[in-house]
């Protein structure tokens, strides 16, 4: 089985690749590993949705994969989610894609520029309707996410986006990864560990190291169940 793992930074998947058998560098930002009966390629796309979309599309156009996983960290809006918890993001959207009209934000759907169900969208979102069949993945909490260029860090913007979309988590890459996989018809899953609460920037409350450690543990179990 051939698997693609996409991550924004090497740090986010360091515990994962440490348990894989490195073989070679197979292209720009792309490394090949072996694990059990799987050939795994790891793409470090860089931070943000533009870099993720561009590099994912380049790799998916040139190679064929049985599965693709996006492993990374995220912030949580939902107070019921715990710090360092690993979740499965099954719906995502680009939160800033639209137009300001005074104090009102209009989505591209409200502007009549994109239909709510224009492929690959469903009801204005990227929905993973057919995730891989995987015992570990199935045990994770399924959550909704937003993808942003600017991580939220002010009470006003947090309240506005929470009311607008009611997201549970946010990242800077998730929707771009899902978009690329959907147009290239690759089965995929976006899996993230919660590193912080979405609030006014408070680095002392972040638990990045623990989130990355938990992500690595869960990711290896997912790969074992493939």
Q: Is 72 exposed, middle or buried (0-12, 13-18, 19+ CB in 10 A)?
A: buried
Q: What percent of the chain has pLDDT over 90?
A: 85
Segment 71-95 mean pLDDT: 97
Tens digits of residue pLDDT in 83-94: 999 999 999 999
CATH code for residues 2-225: 3.40.50.1580
Q: Cα dihedral sign for 87, 68, 151, 115?
A: negative
Strands 98-101 and 104-107 come out as: antiparallel
Query: How high is the pLDDT of residue 79?
Result: 96
pTM, entire model: 0.94
Distance, first Cα to last Cα, the chain: 9
Helices marked H in 104-188: 135-139, 155-165, 174-183
> Tokens standing for 218?
């869960």
pLDDT at 104 > cutoff 90? no
Tens digits of residue pLDDT in 157-168: 999 999 999 999
Average pLDDT, rounded, for the chain: 95
Provide φ and ψ at 159, rounded to 5°: -65, -40
Q: Is 28 exposed, middle or buried (0-12, 13-18, 19+ CB in 10 A)?
A: exposed
pLDDT at 36 > cutoff 90? no
């Amino acid at each position: 089985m051939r698997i693609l793992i996409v991550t924004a930074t090497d740090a986010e998947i360091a515990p994962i690749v440490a348990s894989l058998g490195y073989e070679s560098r197979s292209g720009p930002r792309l490394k090949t590993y072996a694990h059990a009966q799987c050939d795994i390629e790891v793409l470090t796309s860089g931070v943000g949705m533009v870099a993720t979309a561009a590099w994912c599309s380049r790799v998916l156009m040139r190679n064929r994969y049985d599965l693709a996983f996006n492993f990374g960290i995220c912030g949580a809006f939902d107070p019921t989610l715990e710090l360092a918890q690993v979740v499965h993001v099954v719906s995502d959207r680009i939160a800033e894609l639209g137009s300001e009209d005074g104090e009102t934000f209009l989505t591209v759907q409200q502007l009549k520029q994109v239909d709510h169900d224009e492929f690959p969208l469903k009801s204005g979102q990227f929905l993973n309707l057919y995730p891989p069949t995987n015992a570990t993945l199935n045990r994770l909490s399924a959550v909704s996410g937003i993808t942003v260029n600017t991580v939220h860090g002010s009470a006003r913007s947090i309240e506005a986006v929470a009311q607008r979309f009611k997201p549970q988590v946010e990242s800077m890459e998730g929707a771009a990864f899902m978009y690329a996989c959907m147009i290239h018809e690759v089965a995929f899953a976006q899996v993230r560990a919660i590193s912080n609460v979405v609030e006014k920037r408070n680095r002392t409350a972040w638990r990045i190291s623990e989130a990355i450690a938990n992500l690595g543990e869960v990711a290896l179990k997912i790969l074992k169940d493939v």
